[in-house]
Amino acid sequence: MPRLESLAIPNAVATQPASLDYYPQTQLHDRQPIEDNLETQSPQLHYDLAIVGGGIIGNTLALALQNSGLRVVSIESQAQSISISKGRAYVLSVLSGKIFEGLGIWNRILPHVTQFSQIQISDADYAGVVKMYPEDLGTAALGYAASHEVLLTALQSQLRSAQNLTQMCPAQVTAVEYSQTEATLSVTTPDTDTPVIIRANLVIAADGAKSALRERAGIATSGWNYWQSCITATIEPEKSHQNIAYERFWYAGPIGVLPLADGRCQVVWTLPHEQAEALRDLPADEFLQQLEHCTGGLLGKLKLDSQRWLFPVKLMQSQQYTAQRLALIGDAAHCCHPVAGQGMNLGIRDAAALAEILVAAHQAGEDIGSDAVLKRYTSWRKPENWVILAFTDFLDRMFSTSILPIVIIRRFGLLLLDRIPLFKHLALRLMTGLAGKLPQVAR
Ligand SMILES: Cc1cc2nc3c(=O)[nH]c(=O)nc-3n(C[C@H](O)[C@H](O)[C@H](O)COP(=O)(O)OP(=O)(O)OC[C@H]3O[C@@H](n4cnc5c(N)ncnc54)[C@H](O)[C@@H]3O)c2cc1C
């Protein structure tokens, strides 16, 4: 059997084009291909933990397990040069910032993010605007806007020095098999003919919304596809964004405008599918005219600075977060509506919570892949994720309608939110993640 170090897997070989499909999917085979490979000369490697998916969430877990004494392998199918190049920015919550600080990468991230000076929430053409300031939460910040590239680069740079981590990238898990005592994965890489066989006590599915590992384990999901799609684009505004994050609700769906560190803004605009498609296909000047109208001219004249990307929007919660020798994190476990920018933040919390549970179990001499250990993860994260999934669904449905009684109720709700500091404080605690159970790394 080869020593771990002898497995030469190049780090940044571009083998696949960047996927425009937000929910890419791999097909996983089952027992037979693994048995075939075992009979051939496939190299076999042993780890405590195999993380499948080296996106932001899989890498956050890998980093949280640094210096844990656990032997970890991370397997990512896209070359690093490709996976960092998603031209997207996210709302990063206060709690996610604290988690990254605890993991020692905040100083790499902070210089490249925008710290919100204010969040403004408004309802279509209704004059009242709810303004939220850091003082309303009692923290130095209300949240941040961070690009995918900044987050993933910071994680990848820090992971290079992790002694307990082997990174296989680009490499793809193509088959998986679970037993009482371990999981066996078959992993193909571009530069070897025979797949590598990995044996691990626990497999983590961080392989995104269309998780093949989740499907292979037969874990059902609950949820629905929304009637809306979401357009994202980067714009250059005439007026300064003043580090204000805007969420403006229209009857067709919400528009989020995120202030980016270089003065530009990212727009996340949700609309019914046909309208979203039509808007994507409009000439740029007509698209911008509509955007200027729908943002109430807040940022003056707008210039389009990117392509317009279209994403389907869905709510999904896995019925189980774990199965035999398997745990799901991030989009593999749940997806939500992009309103209020919650999805990735939930995944970061999953990763921090799971790492804390696994390290404690390892230190106590427990089997990290046992049902007893995995149950602790489910009972920590599943109820909290349900709350946020329900919150984003409520926001979208409550505001994406012109039914008069609902319009009256929600405008009254906005008035209360604006006038009653306790309501503002509670809403902000929910949106920033501070209302849930804090992982130790963020305390
Ligand atoms: C328009 C839009 C705006 C959003 N805005 C926000 C926001 O502001 N704030 C926020 O918190 N969230 C936001 N989200 C949600 C956020 O994008 C996701 O929650 C987050 O990216 C999920 O990360 P992940 O690592 O779980 O999954 P992914 O990013 O999908 O990563 C999965 C990784 O697994 C790899 N992989 C898959 N199968 C295999 C395999 N078999 N072998 C090896 N590797 C494999 C893939 O290559 C990929 O790199 C938004 C989403 C959308 C669509």
Q: What is the pLDDT of residues 264-296, one digit of tens each?
A: 999 999 999 999 999 999 999 999 999 999 998
| 330 within ligand 1 shell (Cβ under 6 A) | yes
Residue 101, number of CB atoms within 10 A of its CB? 15
CB 61 within 8 A of CB 51: yes
CATH of domain 1-113+144-227+305-423+433-443: 3.50.50.60
Give me ligand 1 centre to Cα 55, in Å.
6
Per-residue pLDDT of the chain (443 residues; tens, 9 = 90+): 332 222 222 232 222 322 333 334 566 655 455 666 555 567 799 999 999 999 999 999 999 999 999 999 999 999 999 999 888 999 999 999 999 999 999 999 999 999 999 999 999 988 889 999 999 999 999 999 999 999 999 999 999 999 999 999 999 999 999 999 999 999 999 988 889 999 999 999 999 999 999 999 999 999 999 999 999 999 999 999 999 999 999 999 999 999 999 999 999 999 999 999 999 999 999 999 999 999 989 899 999 999 999 999 999 999 999 999 999 999 999 999 999 999 999 999 999 999 999 999 999 999 999 999 999 999 999 999 999 999 999 999 999 999 999 999 999 999 999 999 999 999 999 999 999 999 999 99
| 232 within ligand 1 shell (Cβ under 6 A) | yes
Q: What six digits make up the tokens of 377?
A: 């993860």
Contacts of 424 (CB under 8 A, 6+ apart): 130, 132, 136, 417, 418
**Residues 27-31: contacts with CB within 8 Å, 24+ apart?**
27/212, 28/173, 28/174, 28/175, 28/176, 28/212, 28/213, 28/215, 28/216, 29/174, 29/175, 29/186, 30/175, 30/176, 30/177, 30/216, 31/175, 31/177
Q: Over pLDDT 90: what percentage of the chain?
A: 86
| 95 within ligand 1 shell (Cβ under 6 A) | no
The ligand 1 atom at the shortest distance from the C-alpha of residue 174 is 41
- The pLDDT, as a whole number, for residue 192 is 83
SS (H, E, C) 404-433: HHHHHHHHHHHHHHHHCHHHHHHHHHHHHC
Q: Which of 207, 210, 309, 313 to mutate to test the pocket of ligand 1 (most atoms within 8 A of CB)?
A: 207
Q: Whose C-alpha lies nearest to ligand 1, atom 45?
A: 53
Q: Whose C-alpha lies nearest to ligand 1, atom 3?
A: 338
Give me ligand 1 centre to Cα 208, in Å.
5
Identify the residue whose tokens are 């939930």: 346
CA distance 160 to 168: 12
CB 42 within 8 A of CB 4: no
